[in-house]
Amino acid sequence: MNTKNKIKIVSTGCYLPKKISSNELEKKYNIPKGWSKKYSGVQNRHHATFESNAYMGAKAIEKALENCKINLSDIDLIISAGATFDYPLPNQASVTKSHLKDSLKYNIPAIDIDTTCLSFVTSLDIASKMMDNYQYKNVIIVTSEIGSKGLNTKNPETLTLFGDAAVAFVLSCDESSDSTIIKGALKTFSEGVFHTLIEGGGNQYFFKDHPYDEELHSFKMDGINLLKLAKKEMGNFAIDFFKDTKYNINDMNIVIPHQASKIGLALFRKIFNLKSGVIKENLLNHGNCISASIPLVIHQLIQENKIKRGDLCFLLGTSAGFSIGATLFKY
């Protein structure tokens, strides 16, 4: 469903914790030199040291608000979009909001949206629908991911792949603008439900009965079957996505895939075979930042003046579950 109102990305902000090079990581965990860049496609990433999800998210929000003329008092809704969190309860958006200066002055509703790696893409779509009737005029989407704490130090494939980051977007209804969120969609293919998994930490393996164990409580993925499922479904998903629009993927000025892995990005490029420069990536210097990957690419394009108003942008990726999702917007 296309949105009717003009919804504009007014501003973005970012927070990155300490940079960790592949050389440092390989030396610390006795991984062969050069392994990370060769197999994961990652040269640098950032890992949280003292930071929490809320700390990073609040810093990103504050920077986004500094970059525009909208104040915290103008915000109607805060959405925390992400797969990692500080506490099982309360929800992450509430904790992040509490870290903001003057948060006690404004009782802004704060909600979470979690579709793992697609959380930002899903939130952009859902936020646009919530803003479409002017129920909310100014909305913040904040994605703060700390994946580094949930990695198995004995598995170099995942240990070298992931990075931490926080990115915040300020969205606003603006009828004077041509910017808008055009369409979003999500499909979940249940044959891949456990292709990516952290078993421990929930009710299925409750902590009282299953104390911390690195294997049980760390991220694991079945990379081969993930790629097979993505290869099987992603092309058709994109074709179906554009059917009720006046566009196709070749009309896009910018296409941003989820920065899943070196092999995943190579598969994406092979499936769509787009003209040079259209697909944007940052895996090499940031790793897979879970749901912060895609908004971090957008933020960097804005900062580097590599995206202009009116550009058609297509966000497309996969997530645990197994889902494929996309959002199309005019910047």
Q: Beta 110-113 vs 77-81: how paired, if at all?
A: parallel
Contacts of 251 (CB under 8 A, 6+ apart): 312
Mean pLDDT of 218-229: 87
- Is a pLDDT exceeding 50 seen at residue 13? yes
- Confidence class for position 217, pLDDT limits 50, 70, 90: confident
- Is a pLDDT exceeding 50 seen at residue 321? yes
Quote the number of domains for the chain.
2
DSSP lists the bridge partners of residue 14 as 167
d(CA 269, CA 235): 11
- Confidence class for position 216, pLDDT limits 50, 70, 90: confident
Residues 173 and 207 both lie in one domain: no
Mean pLDDT of 8-30: 97
For residues 140 and 150, is the Cβ–Cβ distance under 8 A?
no
Residues 251 and 216 both lie in one domain: yes
Residues 144 and 192 both lie in one domain: no
Write the DSSP string, 74-118: G--EEEEE-S--S-SSS-HHHHHHHTSTTGGG----EEEE--GGG
CATH of residue 163's domain is 3.40.47.10
Q: Is residue 324 part of a domain?
A: yes
Q: Tell me the CA distances in angstroms from 105 to 58, 59, 63, 157, 184, one per residue in order.
A: 16, 18, 19, 45, 34
Last residue of a domain, one of 139, 157, 177: 177
**Mean pLDDT taken over the chain:** 94
pLDDT, position 302 = 98
Residues 162 and 296 both lie in one domain: no
- Is a pLDDT exceeding 90 seen at residue 138? yes
Last residue of a domain, one of 143, 177, 211: 177
- Is a pLDDT exceeding 60 seen at residue 153? yes
Residues 27 and 90 both lie in one domain: yes
pTM across the whole model: 0.94
Query: What range defines the domain where residue 214 resides?
Result: 181-330
DSSP lists the bridge partners of residue 58 as none
Q: Tell me the CA distances in angstroms from 8 to 61, 83, 241, one per residue in order.
A: 17, 25, 22
Comparing CA positions, the residue from 54, 116, 51 lying closest to residue 81 is 116
d(CA 126, CA 111): 12
pLDDT, position 36 = 96
d(CA 160, CA 284): 11
Residues 164 and 190 both lie in one domain: no
Residues 210 and 88 both lie in one domain: no
Q: What is the pLDDT of residues 224-261, one digit of tens each?
A: 898 899 999 999 999 999 999 999 999 999 999 999 99
Q: Is residue 152 part of a domain?
A: yes
DSSP 204: T
Q: What is the pLDDT of residues 167-177, one digit of tens each?
A: 999 999 988 88
Q: What is the pLDDT of residues 81-128, one digit of tens each?
A: 999 999 999 999 999 999 999 999 999 999 999 999 999 999 999 999
* Structure tokens given for 62: 């504050």
Least confident range from 100-109, 179-188, 189-198: namely 189-198
Q: Is residue 1 part of a domain?
A: no
For residues 182 and 18, is the Cβ–Cβ distance under 8 A?
no
pLDDT, position 1 = 47
Write the DSSP string, 24-71: HHHHHTTPPTTHIIIII--SEEEE-SS--HHHHHHHHHHHHHHTSS--
- Is a pLDDT exceeding 60 seen at residue 2? no
pLDDT, position 4 = 63
pLDDT, position 223 = 81
Residues 88 and 22 both lie in one domain: yes
Last residue of a domain, one of 118, 143, 177: 177
Write the DSSP string, 292-317: GHHHHHHHHHHHTT---TT-EEEEEE
Mean pLDDT of 119-146: 94
Rounded to 5°, the CA angle 279-82-91 comes to: 165
d(CA 167, CA 292): 6
- Confidence class for position 286, pLDDT limits 50, 70, 90: very high
Residues 62 and 165 both lie in one domain: yes
pLDDT, position 176 = 86
* Structure tokens given for 172: 């606003």
